[in-house]
Amino acid sequence: MLAALASRLAQALLVMLAVTAIAFVMFRYVGDPVAMMSREDASPAEKAELRKTLGLDRPVLVQYGEFVGRVATGDLGVSFRNQRPVADLLGERLPATLELVIVATILSLSIGVPIGVLCALNPEGKAARLVQTVSLIGISMPTFVTGIALILVFAVILRWLPSFGRGDVVLVGGWTTGFLTKSGWASLVLPSITLALYQLTLIMRLVRAEMIDVLSSDYIRFARARGLPARYINFHLALRNALMPVVTVTGLQIGSLIAFAIVTETVFQWPGMGLLFIQAVSFADVPVMAAYLLFVGFLFVVINMAVDLIYTIIDPRLRTRRA
């Protein structure tokens, strides 16, 4: 187990090195921070001096080496745009993104799994067909359209929910949470639905397909022949086996939700990491972009490891095999 973990960590390191190396090569094409940081009528000498103080006049390889060296000592650098430590900026934004993603994931699992099971148990029923059709819309609708439509209906016309922001947040041990205030919860509704919609339909369709598959397998037929209660067969025997790919997909989806909540965060002005990244891109804020990509790479590696661990909990066979 420990050896597996160590090799995973080594892989993680390689992935992150590769991600940042590619990122550094690409930074040269996303824009010039000096142009963004200079005065409108700055003289060429002023710009050259700024380029030098930022160390942007050196070869990319040297800049990259320095970046890796700094990161190894735990220093993510200072943002060009805000002149604040990148670690602080990411730390400020992490709670907003994580809370949004957690709620969206819970939402999509708690709705997606039961509906998927129901559709699988009665695949020819009217309800199942309706759900299938509606889910196609959910899976193909762009996030910003969903977001704007929800804002229009629930914020502008009905005025039930706020159209943007996080509401009032409370600081709990260095973590800003919106879970403790009424306006915090109200603000979560629209963005989390927007973010969850795609994942929800994905999970639902996956559960349905897997369940139909499992329900037609031999051991379910034998279980039925033994006269076991339908409830036990459907939820204990069948669902448990159908959930394996769902765990994988959910895990990877959490990763991409965090990494790509950018659109939802922009539409709802959700002060999370996606919004930070978008601003960094438009300002060519290299330290923030690099740190963010590093973080996302790290995140995917961690999630993959967590998924592997969860497998062993759901599937007892894996435990014995590994041990």
Partner 1 sequence: MKRSVLAAVAALSLLAAAPANAQTLKWAAPGDAVSFDPNAQLDSFTQNIQSMVYDTLVRRNRQLQIEPSLATSWEIVAPDRWRFKLRQGVKFHDGQPFTADDVVATVMRTIDPGSRNKGNLATVKTAEKVDDQTVDFVLTGPYPLLLNDLTGIFVMSKPWMIQHDSIKPGNTSTGVTTFASTHANGTGPFKLESYEPDARTVMSANEGWWDKPEHNIKRLEFRPIKSDATRVAALLSGEIDMIAAVPLQDIPRVSSTAGVKVVEDPSLRLIFLGFNWKPELQGQPGVKNPLLDVKVRQALWQSLDMDTLQKRIMRGKSRNIATMVAPPVPGYSAEADKPIGYDPAAAKKLLADAGYPNGFKTGLACPNDRYIADEQLCLAIASMWTRVGVQVDLKTESKATYFPRQDRGETDIWMLGWATLPPMDGFSVLSAIFASRKDGFGGANANGMSIPAMDELAKKAAVELDEPKRRAMLAESFKIARDQALFIPLHLQPLAWAMKTNVDMPQFADEYVRPWFAKVN
| Contact residues: partner 1, CB under 8 A | 29-32, 34-47, 53-55, 75, 77-85, 88-89, 91-93, 148, 151-152, 155-156, 159, 162-166, 168-171, 174, 176, 266-269, 271, 275-276, 278-279, 281-284
User: CB of 77: closest distance to partner 1 in angstroms?
Assistant: 7
Query: Please, what is the minimum distance in Å from the beta carbon of residue 22 to partner 1?
Result: 18
| C-alpha–C-alpha distance, residues 205 and 195, integer Å | 17
CA gap 318, 211 in Å, rounded: 21
121 vs 161 by CB, closer to partner 1: 161
Please, which residue, 66 or 213, has the CB nearer to partner 1? 66
Give the count of beta carbons closer than 10 Å to the beta carbon of residue 168.
13
Count CB-CB contacts under 10 A for residue 312: 16
Q: Which is nearer to partner 1, 174 or 227 (CB)?
A: 174
Q: Residue 175: helix, strand or coil by DSSP? A: strand
User: Looking at beta carbons only, is 135 or 163 nearer to partner 1?
Assistant: 163
Q: Which is nearer to partner 1, 50 or 302 (CB)?
A: 50
Q: Which residues make Cβ contacts (< 8 Å) with residue 180, sequence separation at least 6?
A: 170, 172
Contact 31, 279 (CB under 8 A): no
Do residues 289 and 277 touch, judged by C-beta distance below 8 A?
Answer: yes
Shortest CB 64 distance to partner 1, Å: 17
Neighbours of 73 (CB within 10 A): 6
Looking at residue 171, the DSSP 8-state letter turns out to be E
Q: How far is the CB of 24 from partner 1 (least distance, A)?
A: 16
HSE on the CB side for 291, CA within 13 Å? 27
Pick 159 or 226: Cβ nearer partner 1: 159
Largest CA distance in the chain: 86
The distance of closest approach from Cβ of residue 283 to partner 1 in the complex, given in angstroms and rounded to an integer, is 8
Tokens of 222: 């034998």
Smaller CB separation from partner 1, 41 or 218: 41
For the chain, the first-to-last Cα distance in angstroms comes to 8
**Nearest approach, Cβ of residue 134 and partner 1 (Å):** 25
Q: What is the closest distance, in whole angstroms, from the C-beta atom of residue 257 to partner 1 in the complex?
A: 19
Kindly state the smallest distance separating residue 9's Cβ from partner 1, in Å. 28
Nearer to partner 1, 70 or 319 (CB): 70
Which H or E element spans position 231? helix 230-231
Amino acid identity, position 152: L
Q: Which two tokens stand for residue 282?
A: 């438009």
